[in-house]
């Protein structure tokens, strides 16, 4: 049983029957670009971590389901941080990462994923009594990455994101982790957490330095705030992709800019409904983005917490956009093309998609 505020198959607008495209989606080679590291912990993984560190998070699956019944985005952050608190040692990081990779590869058909990691909430320089060293964190991530590719054929890369709710100290620390302890798998620099009360301009110096060091810019923006947050991410943070960007639908000029520049939106439909960023799937702006010529990718965000995964999100996208197998395959190709994977990996993954469709 997966913990969920509202199971994805009962979210408004999602059919209560299996789509005839489900089998095609399941086997379709896919890349995921908007998915959080700790937020990918399934009930099985959370239960194991809770057993290792008894406390506020229950281990029983039914109690876990109730625990994840969050009320709004602020409560979601509270619940999310409770799970973060279970990841206390490098061994926990390794277990979490390897098991996430197992589920991505064997249950969802993923071939490549850029996991958004938040080292600050595990290293916690503000309270070293509850954190691990950045060296231990990085070594555990990299060991699990190598093992996941060896055992499951899944290529993992990292996005280190600033947890906005912790402010500039977290930004300073995260930049230090990214630049001074850079791992081979790190490809991008991000910004997550609450948007309300966390203005994007204050982080411009951090993104300037990260970009100067060769990291890509992928901040969250426009999920729970208006279009100006997206503009700030583009103009001040140099965003190459926008996490969510839901409120861009409110600004025709912004839509035109996104379409003309090709900056993709990482769209996570079920997440947007579960966190109340969008009232219902029927009202989700995904079709509007498509019609405006905006490049979109589909992500699952924090999948077990929203009772979803990438397979389900592709089915949601197919329903909202009226996609057939060819349309879904092109959606998968877009995910590969706008990823930060090396060109040789992109070529291989695009070939896998073509071979799957032809077969």
Integer CA distances (angstroms), 283 to 59, 120, 205, 226, 263, in order = 36, 35, 36, 16, 23
Nearest to 112 by CA among 26, 185, 34, 32: 32
Between the two ends of the chain, the Cα-to-Cα distance in Å is 34
Nearest Cα to 201, choosing from 244, 233, 167, 159? Answer: 233
Q: Give pairs for 178-182: CB < 8 Å, separation 24+.
A: 178/210, 178/213, 178/215, 179/209, 179/210, 179/213, 181/134, 181/135, 181/138, 182/213
**Pair 356, 31: CB distance under 8 Å:** no
> Of the residues 99, 103, 114, 223, which is catalytic?
223
Q: For residues 23 and 4, give the distance between their C-alpha atoms in angstroms, rounded to a whole number.
A: 23
With a CB cutoff of 8 Å and minimum separation 6, the contacts of 2 are: 42, 43, 65, 304, 307
Q: Determine the number of helices (DSSP H) and then strands (DSSP E) in the chain.
A: 16, 8
Rounded to an integer, what distance in angstroms lies between the CA atom of residue 243 and that of residue 191? 9
* DSSP string for 145-195: HHHHHHHH--EEEEEEEEEGGGHHHHHHHHHHHHHHS--TTEEEEEEES--
Asked if 223 is an active-site residue, the reply is: yes
Environment class of 292 (CB within 10 Å of its CB; exposed 0-12, middle 13-18, buried 19+): middle
Quote the CA–CA distance of 23 and 305 in Å, as a whole number. Answer: 24
- Per the rule left: phi > 0, alpha: psi between -120 and 50, beta: everything else, 13 is left
Looking at the annotation, which residues are catalytic? 223
């Amino acid at each position: 049983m997966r913990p969920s505020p509202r199971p994805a198959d009962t979210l408004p607008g999602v059919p209560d029957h299996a789509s005839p495209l489900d089998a095609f989606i399941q086997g379709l080679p896919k890349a995921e670009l908007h998915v959080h590291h700790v937020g990918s912990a399934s009930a099985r993984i959370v239960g194991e971590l809770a057993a290792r560190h008894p406390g506020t998070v229950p281990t029983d699956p039914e109690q876990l389901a109730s625990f994840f019944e969050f009320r709004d985005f602020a409560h979601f952050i509270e619940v999310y941080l409770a799970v973060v608190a279970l990841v206390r040692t490098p061994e926990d990081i390794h277990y979490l990462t390897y098991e996430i990779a197992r589920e991505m590869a064997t249950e969802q058909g993923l071939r490549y994923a850029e996991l958004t990691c938040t080292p600050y909430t595990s290293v916690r320089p503000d309270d070293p009594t509850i954190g691990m060293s950045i060296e231990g964190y990085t070594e555990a991530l990299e060991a699990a990455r190598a093992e996941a590719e060896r055992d499951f054929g899944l290529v993992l890369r990292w996005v280190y994101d600033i947890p906005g709710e912790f402010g500039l100290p977290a930004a300073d620390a995260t930049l230090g982790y990214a630049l001074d302890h850079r791992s081979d798998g790190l490809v991008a620099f991000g910004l997550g957490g609450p948007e309300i009360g966390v203005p994007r301009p204050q982080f411009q110096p951090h993104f300037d330095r990260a970009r100067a060091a060769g990291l890509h810019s992928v901040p969250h923006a426009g999920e729970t705030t208006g279009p100006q947050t997206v503009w700030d991410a583009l103009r001040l943070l140099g965003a190459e992709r926008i996490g969510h960007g839901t409120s861009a639908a409110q600004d025709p000029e912004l839509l035109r800019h996104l379409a003309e520049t090709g900056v993709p939106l990482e769209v996570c439909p079920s997440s947007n409904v579960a966190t109340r960023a969008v009232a219902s799937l029927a009202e989700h702006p995904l079709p509007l983005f498509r019609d405006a010529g905006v490049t979109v990718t589909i992500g699952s965000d924090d999948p077990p917490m929203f009772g979803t995964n990438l397979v389900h999100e592709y089915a949601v996208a197919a329903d909202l956009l009226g996609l057939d197998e060819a349309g879904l395959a092109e959606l998968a190709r877009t995910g590969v093309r706008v990823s930060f994977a090396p060109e040789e990996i992109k070529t291989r993954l695009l070939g896998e998609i073509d071979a799957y469709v032809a077969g």
